[in-house]
Structure 1
């Protein structure tokens, strides 16, 4: 557990954790040793001169005070170290996430990282602040007390020591028995959370269909799975709790019987027996707390394992000596990527527009992502200005590329802040010019707060057309020489489509462009069109020429638009 924790924290944080662990151990040992003074105290009290107990009582009080101060210091250090580490882990996680390839962020992973960065990190780092101290105390203090017992009488010490491996065996068995059910419950919890979100998001559809009174079967099933998993988790933990309680009680009873036998036989004094029993009773509470601590540690370990898996995900490698291209033509040289793109060779001269069309799953959007290096190719190379994108610094590559996708994400801020993300150092005049070119000024005029209008998380307070205009304004402000464009007007109404179309034309002027086209009009604006199918180019040329050839390209548009629409556009 500690090794995993230190691996997650990184080498720079190992020292404060070890320092906190050392102080917690010293405090636990001091607490156990302080109870050794109970023997002379009880001897004096049970002897002929009870007044002789005062010096020993003073020493016992001082020892307890020292152990209390040490415990306070250890707990305080644990809280401080935990807070420092929490901040450090957030920075480390954030820096690492910023270096991971964008293609790593699938929909499932985004949700997982969201949970991990919130509750997961807090639970994992809570080990230092809340669990490590009690765990050390519950383990080290009883062992110290056993050593104290052995110092007074080896037989009582040996009897107490016999219980140590038994308690350890019960804890290990209990942990193994509950690990699988705990993991299953965590999986069911995540599934139920996803179904709750789905149910909330589906409300417009359910209400439009008049199905608000019906039960949502998927959500009901997920909640029932959580209930069953919780029941299994509780039942699997029950034998461990009962077993540990019985073991501790049996050990205490055995010590009581042995102490009584030795005292009646005259081999051990009554003071020693009474002190040993007090010490044994003192061991019981921390030992019984091990079950609860173990359960919480298993939960924290699960989050640590997930956090470790994310942090160990290798980012895309950065070149030791990055190369800066002087031109901005694009080249795909025998590129393969998984099963999506297969040996594709293609060149886009600087300043020209390439339209990529094809059926769903043909690899169109993948080409855009490979140019932006969201992923590294499996074989071949993607080049900008003759330079492999893997030989360029990631920051340099992204400075040269503007990306406009169908699904626009806006940050929870104002319109001005979202546009300025394209080039944070731009002047106000440049921001306004980009907005005007994107047709955003018309939107700003009818919004009551204008530039200061809040867009909401993801841009949900704006319409789809308004979000696209903000996205295009952002790309215009960036003024990158290469534009990657997914069809941005396919889901817009005619008014927004016309406005966005004008903004797109301004964005594409004079730049090297790769666009995914879903409409014939977009293909006609390109200098060249390629038809992809199964990750391969099956048609290549100008739109009109390919239509006249009446081959696969023409058949594709027939399937998309219908033969009548195609003939009309000719």
Structure 2
């Protein structure tokens, strides 16, 4: 087994506690401090009862009971405050550990997986899900310690004081727990529907707001608002059914688990026992205070169930990301002998699919030559291009740079040899100079400007008020599409990789930008091994080699004129292209003078 087959990821399904293992000491300390704080607080109540008994005795001066209760109360407050301090520190440590780990994993996951999942889903894991675990550790762990310790210790103290009043307190609590459990059993499916519709409402809100400029152009936002309103109506229907099925029993359970029913039951029973001489005022008072605390201690456990459910869902998504197989590069530094690219019987199947995206694809892209990938939509052009920089690893066969399989190249070596220019450009919210320097942070200002000149973007940048220090905006939104494209071409020119994989950038450009982009591409491609995904067949008539793909297989290979003579797939594509070019916008066929 080679290192590239090794999977160091943990298995999925261990749950929330597996993720918390690195901060288990902090969590245990917070729980213990929360529990000890409860014990000291209950001890203070017991001492106050002793103080009351002393005051009722003739000539009694039970001040040490009182001061003992004060000290225990202060100790309880100290422990409760520090339990939250410890839990919050543990939560921050966990957040740092998880985000550092996942950031490192993202750097070793296949690039294709990152594209497939999308930035939204990954951002949800890195931000929302980690934040949910942070909140659970910070707020829930002291609550767990208190909620577990308080019922146990309270029942022990009540049992020591008067076992009959203990039975009364337990009876009220058991009825409340039974009613609440019935309510919880009846709404499990509705709870799932509630969570699902809540996510749908959130998604339609985002869609409604983000798509507003577009939808208002066509229908004044009616269709988008209709989806939003439909999601709200569905959410409302589930909420009403939930309240109808489980609302009554749930509310009864909440009331019974509150302090008032226990207080009334203990007060009435204690009064009867007191009238019969079977209970004293101090014991009765102590049980009143302890009994109400017993009821209140169970309510946080009910809310804790919701927090645990949400944290478990977040933990599952985090562990699914952690369980993804990582890409490992060779431990040995190998250098390709040249900058050619070879596909040898390459087959590839996307994860979760049965049919092959590529089947036994073979071709050779010589060093310093331009190879165009052509084919109908879905033929596999983009898949071929993205296998070169290891967006995915092949299912069978091999992709080689020079004489070395790309899987046997160290990641940095592969990145130093291959530059990939996407059609969907991405700029960071940083200066234009920093965006161009992305591939070579050490580049001088002169080198950055030279690359910008070669990409036909230097003059535009110098006309801006801040020049190269201009902030590009979120995802480069302050620039037009053509301007963003030329900035990314400048980035690739500055890197100066010997192999360029280019998703043709002129497909949707206006004439002015198209001319500038073509000139920039010419400067980028000079002397390089270029593999270009062609969208406009007119732009690749004079390339060195055309590889025609059809249904995931290589159908034809050759130059433009030779392929037209074969009367195959390329000829059909060329005829369709000419036919499309021969029609005007009004749908009338163009005539030549």
Counterpart of 1:552 in structure 2 is 569
1:377 deviation in Å? 2.0
Greater mean deviation of Cα atoms: 71-80 or 528-537:
71-80
1:31 deviation in Å? 2.4
Change (3 A) 1:259 1:207: closer
Aligned ranges 1:117-516 → 2 under 5 Å: 117-157=126-166, 160=169, 177-178=186-187, 180-209=189-218, 211=220, 216-232=225-241, 238=247, 239-247=249-257, 255-256=266-267, 259-260=270-271, 262-263=273-274, 266-321=277-332, 323-338=334-349, 339-516=356-533
Which structure 1 segments of 5+ residues have no match? none
Change (3 A) 1:290 1:240: farther
Change (3 A) 1:220 1:38: same
**In structure 1, how many angstroms separate the alpha carbons of the residues matched to 2:182 and 2:409?**
53
1:110 pairs with 113, 116, 119, which one?
119
Change (3 A) 1:198 1:73: closer
1:359 deviation in Å? 1.2
- Cα deviation digits, residues 248-268 of structure 1 (max 9, x gap): 566555545654565555554
Greater mean deviation of Cα atoms: 171-180 or 498-507:
171-180
**In structure 2, how many angstroms separate the alpha carbons of the residues matched to 1:24 and 1:196?**
40
**In structure 2, how many angstroms separate the alpha carbons of the residues matched to 1:502 and 1:463?**
18
**In structure 2, how many angstroms separate the alpha carbons of the residues matched to 1:67 and 1:422?**
57
Alpha-carbon contact 1:151-1:157 (below 8 Å) kept: no
**In structure 1, how many angstroms separate the alpha carbons of the residues matched to 2:548 and 2:335?**
31
- Cα deviation digits, residues 496-526 of structure 1 (max 9, x gap): 1111111111211222222110112332242
Say if 2:86 is the partner of 1:69: no
Question: Between Structure 1 and Structure 2, how many residues are aligned?
Answer: 565
TM, length-normalised to structure 2: 0.86
Alpha-carbon contact 1:245-1:288 (below 8 Å) kept: no
DSSP 3-state at the match of 2:554? strand
Greater mean deviation of Cα atoms: 412-421 or 520-529:
520-529
**In structure 2, how many angstroms separate the alpha carbons of the residues matched to 1:224 and 1:373?**
46
- Cα deviation digits, residues 151-209 of structure 1 (max 9, x gap): 33445445555667766666665555555444433433333333334334444444443
2:23 pairs with 9, 13, 20, which one?
13
**In structure 1, how many angstroms separate the alpha carbons of the residues matched to 2:180 and 2:409?**
53
**In structure 1, how many angstroms separate the alpha carbons of the residues matched to 2:383 and 2:576?**
22
**In structure 1, how many angstroms separate the alpha carbons of the residues matched to 2:504 and 2:225?**
34
Which structure 2 segments of 5+ residues have no match? 1-12, 350-355, 584-590
1:358 deviation in Å? 0.9
TM, length-normalised to structure 1: 0.89
Q: In angstroms, what is the RMSD of aligned CA positions? A: 3.1
1:243 deviation in Å? 1.6
**In structure 1, how many angstroms separate the alpha carbons of the residues matched to 2:331 and 2:273?**
75
Alpha-carbon contact 1:324-1:392 (below 8 Å) kept: yes
Alpha-carbon contact 2:175-2:256 (below 8 Å) kept: no
Alpha-carbon contact 2:187-2:246 (below 8 Å) kept: yes
- Cα deviation digits, residues 52-93 of structure 1 (max 9, x gap): 332211211211121121112212222333233333333333
Counterpart of 2:94 in structure 1 is 85
